[in-house]
Structure 1
Amino acid sequence: MTRIERLRAVMREQSVDLVALGAGAHLAWLTGLRPHADERPLLLCITQNYAGFLMPALEVDSARQHTDLPFHSWGDDVGPDAAFAELLSVSGGDGAKSIVLDETMRADFAALVQGALPDAARQFTATTVGALRMSKDADEYAILKRNALSADTAMRAAWAAMKVGMTENDVADVVRASFKEQGATPLFYIVGAGGNGAFPHHQTGETVLKPGDAVVMDIGGAMNGYSSDMTRMAVMGDAPEGYRAVHDIVERAVQAAMEAARPGVRAHVVDDAARAVISDAGYGAYFVHRTGHGMGIEVHETPYITAASQTVLEEGMVFSIEPGIYLPGRFGIRLEDIVILRGDGPEILSELPRDLRVIHG
């Protein structure tokens, strides 16, 4: 069954007449197409009997190389309205009573759809395309696994190069270079030394690595349209006072979350398990973010592993487990792995241990 066929099955179950997607992750997942996105309206509309594009004329020839779906093209001299009306008529979408809009599309694109169907009930993609994207197939798993191993290699390269006197940016440069050497596109590289590690989303900068610094290293790259994401810890020589005890608490929180993650469990149960370990150790106020997020075409996508999430976890879902403790002015510790949920629990995609890496020199 193709992904469009799977989407139509969900649309039938939920009595959705029309799904409209803009350029972005939903469209890429559904069709493999990644068209240029600008202010010109570009939409894929799917009904039970038709799937076609509202396509700017500038994009037609290039896009045709990547899809056999029909185009309803328009030029800057006439605008999109007539082409969109034609698309709705041909697809049967002009009679839609229930529509799903891509929540990531431009507001003016959404307004174009809603303006043409003012009486239709509107929802976003959470229970249609978004729900389908959460469970990865074997091909997606293979790509994600390869990406995870690429991040392992980039992390090892950084550790091999690190030394006192380098800046955070110097370390990030090594990460970027390693990803590029492997054919991956570097996406992010948080390097937080010393007190900067207490900022969960620290902006890597010119802070110099000093003896005794604990260093948070959160990195990710992309290959074949999917991403990696991993966080490990390093210390420059001797660890700061109290560091190892806190590292052990975070590791136990990771293990508790791994144990809680099972098909049929609501996502908040995984967050609850990690948070309980940290709270029971007296550091609850210093765990300031969710336990995890889904990952695939986007670095952050559903399911989100939060204290409030009622999402029921299913086999094939891919998400991070990344509890942390952040002590202002001292250090931060986050340990992150991406997992795919199997029938008996999570499989970690990375093969790099979460053990503390001690950097000598």
Structure 2
Amino acid sequence: MQQKINSVRARMKDNNVDLIALGPGTHMKWLLGFNPSPDERPCMLLMGLENDAFLMPSVNVEDAMKRSNIKMFSWKDENGPDKALDEALSYTGSSNAKNIAIDEAMRSHFALILIDALPKPTYEFTNSTIGALRMRKDNDEYTNLKENALIDDRAMQAGFAAIKEGVTELEIGEAINKHFISEGAKPQFCIVGSGPNGAFPHHHTGNRKVEYGDVVLIDIGGRKGTFPSDMTRMSVLGEPPEEYLKVHNIVEQAVQAAMLAARPGVMAKEVDAAARSVITEAGYGDYFVHRTGHGLGIDIHEPPYITATSEVVLDEGMVFSIEPGIYLQERFGVRLEEIVILRANGPEILSELSRETNFIK
């Protein structure tokens, strides 16, 4: 924990940030290994250039003190947080902070009372400080991500095994989630899109029954420990519909093009362009309706985002998805998704499960 705090403080100095304010959420969990119960009561970790302090509702103080040695400035419902906030700012040496970084996921009224307590500060979000550090995973984080990716592989295979004519999407999802639980992982999400439902990128798994000849798109993730998994694969029951094999091949080529483009020093938009150009040149550009990828960490979606406009420069240790897709309405969708960690010579894929279609006779 102290090493992370030191790294954050170094980033603060490099980026002329006088104060960072974090609400109960994943930034705080990444930094400290826990976060207090999030509710409407103002609760903030304040990181100054000199000291750190918690503004802490009295109802959470006892539990928080068991988890952290950071000095607590508590307040009660009958008194309000203003006095405790002023004292916490003074302790951190931030009473006159001019440039502050605010947790972008923090409740807005937390941010407003902080801004009101300071003398007309300028503010930004945490992209240049904690956000920049979170994008680069260390060896322990990689180990947990890899473990989860392999569990995801086996959960996907459990989903494949559940596919048969007449089974519902929800029943396939239940088999997947049972597998996650059997390995000590908590299911995070499960998209099972059969037939025409696969053409909706974020389909809500439902009661549609799988029919012979259906394409089945499965996008799943679970979490064991701190970090989650995320992966999409394709299955077909019986003979594939017309055009399916062609579309799958194009999407596979787009994945490979993005993998070749992803290198340290490359902007994220160049990776998106590499995948998108393959699909566009094949005549399906209008059917690739989302970004090429997103970062993966404590949050399933976090920076870096692999979009057509992102100028984030990719670096070693960044973990993100590569997941181009083609969606043909009322017919089927194809998406192939890998989570990669960027190494000096390119991306390392965390999954070990083939991207080839799982055909079921």
**What is the TM-score when the length of structure 1 is the normalising length?**
0.98
Written as runs of structure 1 = structure 2, the 5 A alignment for 1:202-351 is: 202-351=203-352
In the TM superposition, what is the alpha-carbon distance from 1:176 to its structure 2 partner?
Answer: 1.1
Please list the CA deviations of residues 105-157 of structure 1 after superposition, one character each: whole Å capped at 9, or x if unmatched. Answer: 00110011111014111111111111111000011100111111111111011
Letter in 2 for 1:321: I
- Unaligned stretches of 5+ in structure 1? none
Q: Which residue of 2 aligns with 1:116?
A: 117
Provide the residue aligned with 2:128 in structure 1: 127
- Work out whether 1:16 is the aligned partner of 2:17: yes
Deviation, 1:65, is 2.2
Per the alignment, residue 63 of structure 1 pairs with 64
Aligned residue in 2 for 1:140: 141
SS at match of 2:9: helix
Q: Secondary structure, in 3 states, of the residue corresponding to 2:67?
A: coil
The answer on 1:184 being equivalent to 2:185 is yes
| Counterpart-to-counterpart distance in 2, 1:20 and 1:232 | 40
- Quote the residue 2:99 is aligned against: 98
Looking at structure 2, the residues matched to 49 and 269 of structure 1 have their Cα atoms a distance apart, in angstroms, of 40
Cα shift at 1:241: 1.0
Deviation per residue, 1:50-86 (Å, 9 max, x gap):
1111111111121222222111111212121111111
> How many residues align structurally?
360
Q: Is the alpha carbon distance of 1:359 and 1:34 closer, same or farther for their aligned partners in structure 2, counting shifts above 3 Å?
A: farther
Letter in 2 for 1:197: G
Match of 1:3 in 2: 4
CA distance in 1, matches of 2:178, 2:73: 42
- Displacement of 1:159 after TM fit? 1.0
Secondary structure of 2:127's match? Answer: helix
Give 1:77's aligned amino acid. E
Deviation by residue 1:297-317 (Cα, 9 ceiling, x = unmatched) = 000000000010100000000
Deviation at 1:242, TM superposition (A): 1.1
Partners of 2:55 and 2:320 in 1: CA distance: 33
Give distance in 2, aligned partners of 1:34 and 1:27: 6
Question: Which whole-Å CA distance do the structure 1 matches of 2:359 and 2:131 have between them?
Answer: 41
The one-letter amino acid of 1:17's match is D
Once the two structures are TM-superposed, the CA of residue 161 in structure 1 deviates from its matched residue by 1.9
Aligned match of 1:32: 33
Partners of 2:17 and 2:35 lie apart in 1 by 25
Q: Helix, strand or coil for the counterpart of 1:96?
A: coil
Give, in whole Å, the separation in 2 of the partners of 1:213 and 1:10: 51
CA distance in 2, matches of 1:237, 1:34: 49
Identity %: 55
- Cα distance in 2 for partners of 1:229, 1:136 equals 16
SS at match of 2:187: strand
CA distance in 1, matches of 2:279, 2:118: 50
Alignment-derived partner of residue 156 in structure 2: 155
> Distance between the aligned counterparts of 2:359 and 2:25, measured in 1?
41
- Contact between 2:97 and 2:119, CA under 8 Å: does it hold in 1? no
Q: CA deviation digits over 1:215-273, x for unaligned, max 9?
A: 11000111212111000000111111110111000000000000000000000110010
1:34 Cα deviation (Å)?
2.3
Whole-angstrom distance in 2 between the partners of 1:282 and 1:351: 30
Q: Is 1:199 matched with 2:204?
A: no
Is contact 2:96–2:119 with CA below 8 Å preserved after alignment? no
> Root-mean-square deviation (CA), in Å?
0.9
Rounded to whole Å, the distance in 2 between the matches of 1:213 and 1:64 is 55
SS in 2 for 1:150: helix
Q: TM-score, normalised by structure 2?
A: 0.98
Counterpart residue type for residue 325 of structure 2: G
- Looking at structure 1, the residues matched to 119 and 161 of structure 2 have their Cα atoms a distance apart, in angstroms, of 60
- Counterpart residue number, 1:172: 173
